[in-house]
Amino acid sequence: MRNKNFALITGASEGFGKALALECAARNINLVLVALPGSGLSSLCCYIERNFDVTTYCLEHDLSKKEECYDLFNEINRLQIPVNILINNAGIGGTHYFDERNAEFYCKQIELNVVSPTLLTHLFIQNLLQHSPAYILNVSSLASFFYLPKKQVYGGTKSYLVAFSRSLRRELKNKGISVSVICPGGMNTNPQMVFQNLNTHGLGRWSIMDPEEVSKIAINGMLKKKEVIIPGFWNKMFMLFDKLLPKCYKEMLTDRSMKESKTISNPVIFAINPLRTAI
């Protein structure tokens, strides 16, 4: 029998969101995919409809704007789509010192990484309750556990998602909604990240995973109602080291690697030579 319920995935046009969408489609879960306008979402939807036995809606919204979160909610209500899985994946990353970006950037990062998942969870909770067993999966990061330089705001927003998820999980436990949070480490999400990861050395390099692997672990963990999902052997090791090693030693190790780490701009859009920025 064809599955009637839908999974709503935000930030689905690229990277981990795209991998999550493909993973759900492979498990016959119908999809509502949301991404920024002009991000190539429609070609992904076409691909999924052609290759998998699922129904796919593709909705384009900028979720860093509150009113567009409401628009999304109203649109889904109007279409009467039964949502039983909500995956809050959309987010803005970045690796830079605090003064390297303007305040606007950080406000937008907080809007998208914190406000939007909170708002969407609040809006969709009735829809989810009506279609239980329901699941919420929030996409956090390993950076939420390590207070790394160059990851101040990003790490903070991701820590919020861990706290939010774990707390909400206890509230919704007996109401038929399971809340999980996944904390991936480095991933080959887009060409820039793969480029950056190919130029990473040492421990960091080993822990990098492909989004296809992580999305499998994420959906498995979500359906098994796990609380905090840490994908991959090395990422689990990092969590263990964090507990075992003394603070000064940890800081020495991470300081060194974070100094080299840098976000690379798309060389095409910004017309920057990737070699000059990366090396």
Partner 1 sequence: MKILITGATGYIGYKLAMEAASRNYTVHILVRDLESPLLPVHPNIVKFKGDITNKASVIAAMINCNKVMHAAAIAKLSAKNNNVFYSVNVEGTRNMLDAALALGVKKFVFTSSGAVIGPSGKYPMSENDPRIAAFENDYEISKHWAEELVKEYCRRGLFAIIVAAPRVYGPGHECNGNTMNILLKNILSMRLAFVPSCDNVVANYAFVDDVVNGHFLAMEKGLGGEKYILGGENLSYRSFFQTIKQNTGKKIRLIRIPKLLLKIWSFFYMSVCTILGKETHVSPKVVDRLSQNRALSCDKAIRQLGYSITPFSIGIQKTIFHLKNKNYA
Which residues are at the interface with partner 1 (CB under 8 A)? 18, 22, 40, 43-44, 46-47, 50-52, 187-191, 194-195, 198-199, 210-212, 266-269, 273-275, 279
Which of 230, 223, 213 has the alpha carbon at shortest distance from 85? Answer: 223
Give the 3-state secondary structure of residue 136. Answer: strand
CB of 155 to partner 1, least distance (A): 24
**150 and 99 in contact (C-beta within 8 Å)?**
no
Q: In this complex, which beta carbon is closest to partner 1, that of residue 38 or of residue 246?
A: 38
CB of 209 to partner 1, least distance (A): 9
Identify residue 179 by its one-letter amino acid code.
V
Q: In this complex, which beta carbon is closest to partner 1, that of residue 19 or of residue 153?
A: 19
Token pair, residue 102, equals 């303007």
| Cα angle for residues 272, 278, 279 (degrees, 5° grid) | 120
Q: In this complex, which beta carbon is closest to partner 1, that of residue 64 or of residue 189?
A: 189
CB of 15 to partner 1, least distance (A): 9
Identify residue 25 by its one-letter amino acid code.
A
Q: In this complex, which beta carbon is closest to partner 1, that of residue 166 or of residue 262?
A: 262
The C-alpha atoms of residue 124 and residue 220 are separated, in whole angstroms, by 22
The C-alpha atoms of residue 227 and residue 205 are separated, in whole angstroms, by 27
CB of 138 to partner 1, least distance (A): 22
Q: In this complex, which beta carbon is closest to partner 1, that of residue 198 or of residue 240?
A: 198
